[in-house]
Amino acid sequence: MAEHRLDSVDLRQIEFIDESTVDWKSVSEVTYIVYQHIRYEYPGPITDLRQRLMISPRDGHGGQRRIVQRLDVFPQMPAKAHRDAFGNSVVAMVVPQLDCGIDFEYWAIVEREAWVTEHREQRSVLEMPSLLRSSLLTRADSNLREAAEQLRAANRDPLELAHAINHFVFKHMRYKAGATDIRTTAAVAFGLGKGVCQDYAHVMIALARHCGLAARYVSGHLLGEGGTHAWVEIILPDRDDSLVMAFDPTHDRVVTMKYIVVAVGRDYADVAPTCGVFTASFAGELSVHKRVGVTDVRYAA
């Protein structure tokens, strides 16, 4: 395989493959380029900036491998990387003072082996209390509890129940940008019957956990969509391991090779791509430019 380098990358020179022309059912391995340019702009100087980024695709998640990555910060600032309790890659930095803004430019090469809906992880993942208990954004109200009880009564097999919840959320919700925000809970979104992918994921997680299924929120990229996407992983016991099944309730389907996993957690609050605080008498403005595409496809012989 050719050497992968990101020391001198020009997005305009990369030849992306039209993903609609790929015979996905016959693919054995795919290479993706992930690019993000994040800019925070301020109308004046700020102090005490504490910034966190969670934009690095997970390495070793199912059939996904992160081959190489690069993060440039302008103006140049020291940044520290660490892993959180869920194994996500987190970049954190503290900046004493900035004049007018800060830019983050991120590149990654990711490869994924062919897999359809599942992978295995250690049994301890299934036993994480945080994936079984309600979180602030996924707490079930009486309406969600009633729906969960009906789903559980009609679907005794855990895997069948997970599929049923995925389909139920898709049928109940209507995609509507602007109807909710990042603080909207599953209960509110369920009552509205509308929202975005984040809300679909929160509703599915609330239903699954009330039914006794371990569930985690997934943020990442879906080929063909502009913004960050969200979906759900249901975790089931399987002999000595955990079986992780990935569902996308926004599209009523299981996850395919068109998805790239960035982070997992209890809900959106655990995996927000960017978050930070600073001291000033004014707010900042965030802008994000992203490009995710296929650069190489290998088919099964």
Per residue in 229-241, pLDDT tens? 999 999 998 888 8
What mean pLDDT is predicted for residues 172-177? Answer: 97
203-212: pLDDT as tens digits:
999 999 999 9
Question: In order of start, what are the domains of the chain with their CATH numbers?
Answer: 11-114+273-299 (2.60.40.2250), 118-256 (3.10.620.30)
84, exposed or middle or buried, with CB in 10 Å at 0-12, 13-18, 19+?
middle
Distance separating alpha carbons of residues 301 and 104, to the nearest angstrom: 41
pLDDT at residue number 1: 30
Mean pLDDT confidence for 86-103: 94
223/6: higher pLDDT: 223
Q: What is the pLDDT of residues 15-35, one digit of tens each?
A: 899 989 999 889 999 999 999
For the chain, the residue count is 301
Residue 110 has pLDDT above 70, yes or no: yes
The predicted model gives 243-248 an average pLDDT of: 94
> What average pLDDT does range 183-197 have in this prediction?
98
Query: pLDDT tens for residues 7-18?
Result: 656 666 788 999
What is the Cα–Cα distance from 89 to 140, expressed in whole angstroms? 29
Q: Which of 5-9, 177-181, 192-196 has the lowest mean pLDDT?
A: 5-9
Write the DSSP string, 130-196: GGTS--TTT---HHHHHHHHHHHHH--SHHHHHHHHHHHHHHH-EE-TTS--TT--HHHHHHHTEE-
Say whether pTM exceeds 0.85.
Answer: yes
> Does the pLDDT value for residue 126 go beyond 50?
yes
